Amino acid sequence: MKIGEMKQEDILRIQAWMDGELAPKEAARVATLIEQNPEALALSEELRVVENALHLGEKPAILDDSRDFYWSQIERKIDAEEPLLEPYAAPVLASGNLLRWMVPVGSLGAIVVLMMNYGAMNPQPQPSTPGITPDAPASTPTGLTEPAGAMEEQNAEPGGMGVINFQGSQGSRHLTDPEDPNTLPESIENPDR
Amino acid sequence: MAKKLDIPNADDEALVRSAQRGAMPPYEELVHRHRDKIYARAFSMLRNEDEALDISQEAWVKGWQRLKQFKHNASFTTWMTRICINLCLDFLRKRKRKPTSSLDQMEEESGGVERFMPVEQFNPTEKAEREELRAQIDEGMAKLSYEHRTVLILHEFEQLGYKEVSKAMHCSIGTVMSRLFYARRKLATLLISLKKERQK
């Protein structure tokens, strides 16, 4: 008897039914197919025979190496790999990571604080050129030309930079507008060029 | 004071619990008890003694490294066998040794030549001795491609369902089903031809 005429789908369903992989409704449908179709029945029988043969078990495989030799090789591999694993679990590394980040962040914080307080800490500069007197208002008891808060507000306005405005320091240097297509390098504007 | 473990007479669970606390001698005892089983599984999948020996030892090393993850839900040997199978699958994927795979794949996709062969009936318990039949199965399994052999091993010997096999082999359930069918038909044909050969 041949199973060549059976649909591949039905063949796989029969196998799934035998393996107990089908839902109850589908299983009932396949059971009916096996009852009614001799090809399906023959296929299921053959699959059962193979399954029974396999259930006799596998041919045992025995290791030739002695117990001690086999274990010594495993032990050596364990010893070789363990030192590599330990440092990852060490808590020292966690604090090391923390310190690595804290140093630059702390330094940056200190610089920001210094800059913020620069105006308050810096006394009124003495004129270095004789004959030129600063027009400092007499009403400022600290001797500053302007109160520190007013200085910050003034600087914050035009450049939007907050405490320090670098606009003046750039002077008249010409900076290209990054969004202006005329200023884009050729390679970016047209990569095919 | 904790009672000292009688290693040779302790059961697997006691040995595993002791090893999970970092004791190496109980683990050594576990290796001695189950090394043949783990080696046999590696050999059945790889069909090469040296590779099976290496992979089985690697499985024991991995077992030690991951021992704390073992939750005692299954037996220790089942857990170790799974580690071994995963290592074998990784090894086979890397090696990609497929001497007959292209032909097998073509046949598998088209339904296989086995579909057009007559359905043979044979009874393994009638004439063949148990050991002889095991040897025949072993011979037949060796002739299968590793994909077909692996799917049979996982499903028939390790009792994994289609879904678990597909997960382990990184393929679809449909592929598992067709590989399983092809492997069974091919094994049936091989067993019949081996039987006929020995009867001559």
Query: For residues B40 and B53, what is the distance between their CA atoms, to the nearest angstrom?
Result: 9
Q: Do B188 and A51 touch (CB under 8 A)?
A: no
Instruction: Identify the pLDDT of residue B191.
Output: 81
Q: Do B157 and A62 touch (CB under 8 A)?
A: no
Instruction: Identify the pLDDT of residue A2.
Output: 54
User: Chain B residue with minimal CA distance to A84?
Assistant: B65
pLDDT-flagged residues of chain B (< 70): 1-2, 96-129
* Domains of chain B with CATH codes: 1-97 (1.10.1740.10), 98-200 (1.10.10.10)
Q: Which of A21, A45, A58 to mutate to test the interface with B (most CBs of B within 10 A)?
A: A58
A25 interfacial to chain B (CB closer than 8 Å): no
Size of interface A-B (CB pairs under 8 A): 122
Instruction: Identify the pLDDT of residue A98.
Output: 63
B173-199 vs B162-169: helix crossing angle, rounded to 10: 100
User: Chain A residue with minimal CA distance to B175?
Assistant: A12
Query: For residues B119 and B122, what is the distance between their CA atoms, to the nearest angstrom?
Result: 10
Q: Is residue A103 packed enough to be buried (19+ CB in 10 Å), middle (13-18) or exposed (0-12)?
A: exposed
Residue B84 tokens read as 């071994």
pLDDT in tens, A61-96: 888 888 899 999 999 999 998 765 554 444 445 555
Q: How many CB atoms lie within 10 A of CB A73?
A: 16
Instruction: Identify the pLDDT of residue A165.
Output: 37
Calculate how close chain A gets to B84, using CA atoms only, in Å. Answer: 14
A45 interfacial to chain B (CB closer than 8 Å): yes
CB A159 within 8 A of CB A165: yes
pLDDT by residue for chain A (193 residues), tens only, comes to 455 678 889 999 999 999 999 999 999 999 999 999 999 998 898 888 888 888 887 888 888 888 899 999 999 999 998 765 554 444 445 555 666 777 778 888 888 888 887 766 665 555 444 444 444 444 444 434 344 443 333 443 343 333 333 333 333 333 334 334 343 333 333 334 3
CB B38 within 8 A of CB B82: no
Q: Do A62 and B53 touch (CB under 8 A)?
A: no
User: Chain A residue with minimal CA distance to B192?
Assistant: A50
The answer, yes or no, to whether ipTM is higher than 0.85 is no
Q: Which residues of A touch B33 (CB under 8 A)?
A: none
Q: Do B116 and A50 touch (CB under 8 A)?
A: no
Query: For residues B185 and A189, what is the distance between their CA atoms, to the nearest angstrom?
Result: 63
Query: For residues B184 and A13, what is the distance between their CA atoms, to the nearest angstrom?
Result: 15
User: Chain B residue with minimal CA distance to A70?
Assistant: B57
pLDDT in tens, A40-53: 998 898 888 888 88
